[in-house]
Structure 1
Amino acid sequence: MTTLTGKNKTADTAAPAGRGGPLHGLPWLVWRRNRTAFLLLAALTVVVCGYCLYQRAGVVDFVTRYGNDTRYAEKFDEAYKPVFDRLYALSGLPGILGIFLGAPLIAGEQEHGTVRLATTQSVARTRWIAATVLLPLLAVLVSTTLISLAFTALWSPANRLVNYGDWLGGTIFDITGPVPVAMALFLTALGIAVGMLVRRVVPAMVLTFVGAFGTSVVWDWIRVRLTDPRTATGPATRDFPHIPDTAINYDQWLGTSDGRLLGWGTCVDAKKEAVCLADKGVVHKIVEYFDLDQMAGMQWRGSALLLVLTALVVAFTVLWTRRRPL
């Protein structure tokens, strides 16, 4: 009787891990332990997507009435600035996912000692780490993809009006297209790796915050280097040349006859600007700019870089857990 009872208890204990349905075994355990974070992420996704689709009707109506023309950017800003200001907070979502989903994932298991129980049972360590890492990353992938699609659908009809047409300043570029997805995957993977190394939840979250901040600083530097700016050149005797309405003015130069580039303010303080320019041999005024049709290529290049880094971080996490004690 004792032996039979012991067997039944063992079977009952193991039953939840082997339950049927879309999730069973290890994925179900990962879901169960992190279901609060997953449910919050799902709720956020539904709310943001619904809000974007609801507001899109008004944006499309405005564009139909006035046109997607920078002349009406101020009028559009008066009507829809609060809407987009709320959504600009999405630029912080990748960091939040890294801090609150990624960092505690393995660190919490280590801190409570449950990781040893999981990895000393019949479950192979490789299977355990694969389920622990891949399921959260899949949730992040699905959520951020839907949010990015929803916000892009809201922004694209009025891309010359939103933020006065500035798509490169940071917010628009970082929450449309593939960029928010790739950034969220990278920072979540980074948080998981940091938590694995630190073994404590709160320190892991703090270090992930530092890593996310450092990533944002480096990303600001990288963003404008994802492609070469275009140039518009005009004679030195006139104003700086005109660039397309959809373009972002990146820099301005004065070009000399021998090919040197001088800062645009070289002769600003001179009483006789024309004489100053002639003395320095300036023959051209040059504008460097990024146009809207370059945006997609820049986003995909940056996202490819982030995805490569994500793969490296995940590979490091898997190898570390296979070869080092947890």
Structure 2
Amino acid sequence: MSDRTPAPAPAPQGDIPPPALKAVDLGLRAHDGWTLRHCDFEVPRGRIAGLVGPNGDGKTSLLALAAGLSDPAEGTLRVLGHRPGLRDVLPRVGVLLQDRPLHGSFTVAETLRLGRELNPGWDEAEASALVRESDIPPRERVSRLSGGQRTCLALALALGKRPDLLLLDEPMADLDPLRRHTMMAALMRTAAEHGTTVVMSSHILAELHLVCDYVLLMARGRMLIADDTDFVQAAHTLITYTRHAPDAEPPRPFGPDGATVVETRLSGRSAAALLRLPTSLPAAVRTTPPALDEILLAYLRSPDATPCSPRPDPRRHGSATVRPLPQHRRRERRMSTAGRFLTWTSPRHVPLPLPRPAGALWLVWRQHRVFYLATLALAALAGAWAAWQHHLLVTGVASYAGHCGPDPFCGRPVPDAVRTVLHRAPAVLNSLPLVVAALLGAPLFAQDIERGTHRLAWTQSIGRAEWVVAKLLVASAVTAVAALLITAPVSWWWSTVWHGRATTGSQEVAWRQLAAGNDWPFFEYTGTVGIAHLLLALLTGATAGLLLRRVVPAVAVGAAAAWALRTALRWLRPRLLPAGVRPAPTVDYPPLPPNTWHLGGGYLRTDGTLTPHAPCPSPYPGNPQSACLHAHGIRGPYTRDLRPAQFLPLHLAETALCLVLALVLAFVCVLCVRRVAAR
């Protein structure tokens, strides 16, 4: 363009940087066919490129590919010389998506903080100045902003990264004239001061002519034009002529270097044709230099036209038309892996620095903090209620023992606390994994993907894997703390029942009578195994949400999968450790010692083998059955049980199994997130 002075000499061959965008035979397949096909183009560094095309012809899909939000089906696309979406490329690319996916519950100031937390090269002054110029209140919630204000805020996020490449999808579509002027000035200033390459799609052709010095025109998934605006105008001409016959063709030069007719428009006997020609026309033909918007409209009306071949790259052919780029250094915060998740602050009146979430952890906590705080509050209330029930349980059993003494069948009713703790509580505890999978796990990824806000995080300077890890870390920490608040009093119940049956006198009789065989259902909600079970349920629901990408189906599938896993673990639990076999000294069934987990029994043959079935019809051994048993080679009955000494090994074994399964599901989430196309 006339206001952009070319450099006096080309850059040396060895200093040629890779283009900002380069596509070779690029293709993208959608459900109903090809969105992009055989797309070849190149955008040099430092240009402001306008992307033009009809609705639904692939402009947004092309920008999503360049932002790393989806993967091509064929061909290659390079952004600043690298594959899109890489961890090292993300900080250098700023993206403004068409639907402006911002978090509605955030304030404007918190949205800017999101940019600061997720981008190491964040320019707070640039982003804040753009928000102030747009008259957006910092404390206003994003959900209350108008469409134009949301666009200005999203553009501030993109410009605050100080990117080398800006990808803008319809940036001016919903802006009023004043804000449009402000945004245009900001883009021009960024391109001039920092050498930022800008690729912006728009339907306002006159606006592109004033701002852009490079044009990309797409139609039906193909790139028809990709070149400087000055060259595009110089390579086309508009001719007018009078037709002597209704079917007369426009005059065309002959030979291999003849012109290409892009479009012909008829008006009675007068006709006009837009030609792309490398040669001169006959003198009898009247020609007019076309405006850029006339050229673009002609190609849009003729989507099957032959693509316009770009001119040779002057940097590689000795031409002196290369504009030098401003030299600037990117200022990025260097931090360790742990530093991207945690920072240390010194609050007022606290002598020691305390950790606080940073980066992606801050984003996840801020996004879900209301729900997570409510979850912790409910868990604390449930834990307090369980502690109070423990007090009622102990006093109720003591009252029962005081009235009944050594008689276990005194006829006194069972205390209400015993019924609540030992009969009703297991049903409530059994629903906890289903609740965690459905309410904590399933929406963790599915809610973001369904609303589209995951693309906001993916277009910042964090990778998809880091986003997944941050979400799982925060949700797992909240689940572990809530599980601890619930399992601590349940473990107290368990310990009290075990110690009560090990006492002597009337207390032992009361505990054995009231809590006989009712404590092992609490096993999976005690100690570390209770925390591990709920973490596994969380990862089960989260994996379902990531794979299904919809909240309601993920809730149903996550709860069903958690129930299936719990059922499988209950079946596997008595098989994790070898059970002890206790033979009876007589034909009478052996008495069960206290605090054992009875797994069944059967009969012991004289040759040492076991059989679960008795060959004699009487269910209770007596003298006639004794003779029958000996006649069939049966020595006597036996029982299988897990002893109290095996409680801790079983506890550790099941905890380890649940944690291993949870880690496997977390690894599946990290692997599968790359397959999630950000639509």
Structure 2 length-normalised TM: 0.43
Which AA in structure 1 matches 2:653? R
Residue 243 of structure 1 corresponds to 592
What does the per-residue CA deviation read over 1:173-229, in whole Å, with 9 as the maximum and x for residues that have no partner? 121122221111011011111111111111111111210121122122112112111
Q: Structure 2: how far apart are the matches of 1:134 and 1:288?
A: 41
The DSSP-based 3-state class of the residue aligned with 1:265 is: coil
Gaps of 5+ in 1: none
Report if aligned partners of 1:137, 1:185 keep a CA contact under 8 Å in 2: yes
Tell me which of 77, 80, 83 is aligned to 2:417: 80
Report the Cα distance in structure 1 between the residues aligned to 2:516 and 2:549, rounded to whole angstroms.
46
Determine if the alignment matches structure 1 residue 28 to structure 2 residue 362: yes
- Aligned with 2:575: secondary structure? coil
Distance 1:248 1:177 in 2: 18
Aligned counterpart, 2:647: 295
Q: Deviations over 1:13-57 (max 9, x none)?
A: 669xx9988344432321232234312311221111211222333
Q: 1:37 maps to what in 2?
A: 371
Following superposition, the deviation at residue 166 of structure 1 comes to 3.1
Q: In percent, how many aligned pairs have the same letter?
A: 27
Query: Take 1:173 and 1:111, find their aligned partners in 2: how far apart are those partners?
Result: 38
On the 8 A contact 1:77/1:163 being kept in 2, the answer is: no
1:225-277 CA distance string (max 9 Å, x none): 12111122124x53022231222332222122223322253313499312321
Q: Distance in 2 between the 1:152 and 1:178 partners?
A: 10
Partner secondary structure for residue 178 of structure 1? helix
Distance 1:244 1:125, change over 3 A: same
Instruction: Tell me if 1:223 matches 2:573.
Output: yes
Matches of 1:297 and 1:229, distance apart in 2: 12
Q: Give the whole-Å Cα distance in 1 for the aligned partners of 2:582 and 2:128.
A: 85
TM-superposed CA distance for 1:172, in Å, is 1.0
Which of 93, 96, 100 is the matching residue for 2:439? 100
Distance 1:72 1:117, change over 3 A: farther
Query: Is the Cα–Cα contact under 8 Å of residues 252 and 264 in structure 1 kept in the other structure?
Result: no
Per-residue CA deviations over 1:131-154 (Å, capped at 9, x if unaligned) read: 111100111011102211122123
2:576 partner letter: L
Alpha-carbon spacing, 1:77–1:265, altered in 2? closer, same or farther (3 Å):
farther
In structure 2, the partner of 1:286 is: 638
Task: Tell me the amino acid that sits aligned with residue 495 of structure 2.
Answer: S
Structure 2, unpaired ranges of 5+: 1-125, 139-152, 161-341, 348-355, 502-510
Q: 2-side partners of 1:134 and 1:206: how far apart?
A: 23
Map of 1:122 onto structure 2: 461
State the secondary structure of the residue aligned to 2:420: helix
Range that drifts further, 25-34 or 249-258:
25-34
Residue in structure 1 matching 2:429, options 85, 90, 97 = 90
User: How far apart are 1:311 and its partner, in Å?
Assistant: 0.7
Distance change >3 Å, CA 130–CA 4, structure 1 → 2: closer
1:65-214 maps to which residues of 2 (within 5 A)? 66=401, 71=408, 77-84=414-421, 85-88=423-426, 89-159=428-498, 160=501, 161=511, 163-168=515-520, 171-214=521-564
Matched position secondary structure for 2:425: helix
Aligned length: 319
**1:311 aligned partner:** 663
Alpha-carbon distance change, 5 to 247 in structure 1, aligned in 2, over 3 angstroms? closer
Worse overlay, 193-202 or 122-131: 122-131
Q: Are the structure 2 counterparts of residues 147 and 73 from structure 1 closer, same or farther at C-alpha, using a change threshold of 3 Å?
A: farther
Secondary structure at the aligned position of 1:318 is classed as helix
Higher helix share: 1
Specify the SS of the correspondent of 1:266. Answer: coil
Give SS of 1:34's match: helix
Any idea what SS the aligned residue of 1:245 has? coil
Deviation per residue, 1:81-133 (Å, 9 max, x gap)? 34314532123212211111111111111111111121012233233222111
1:145 partner amino acid: L
Q: TM-score of the superposition, structure 1-length normalised?
A: 0.85
**2:654 counterpart letter in structure 1:** G
User: Given residue 372 of structure 2, which amino acid in structure 1 is its aligned partner?
Assistant: F
What SS class does the counterpart of residue 251 from structure 1 fall into? strand
- d(CA) in 2 for partners of 1:156, 1:76: 24
- Structure 2 Cα separation of the partners of residues 151 and 263 of structure 1: 34
State the partner residue of 1:258: 607
The residue matched to 1:53 in structure 2 has which SS? helix
| CA 58–70 in structure 1, closer or farther in 2 if over 3 Å, else same | farther
Letter in 2 for 1:83: T
Matching residue's letter, 1:175: Y
The equivalences for 1:57-68 within 5 A come to 57-61=391-395, 66=401
1:280 Cα offset (Å): 0.9
Q: Residues 242 and 174 from structure 1, CA distance in 2 versus in 1: closer, same or farther, beyond 3 angstroms?
A: same
CA distance in 2, matches of 1:264, 1:147: 42
Deviates more, 1:261-270 or 1:113-122: 261-270
- 1:52 equivalent to 2:386? Answer yes
Relative to its length, the structure with more strand (as a share) is 2
Mapped contact 1:73–1:164 kept (Cα < 8 A):
no
Instruction: Work out the CA distance in 2 between the residues paired with 1:60 and 1:301.
Output: 31
Counterpart residue number, 2:130: 6
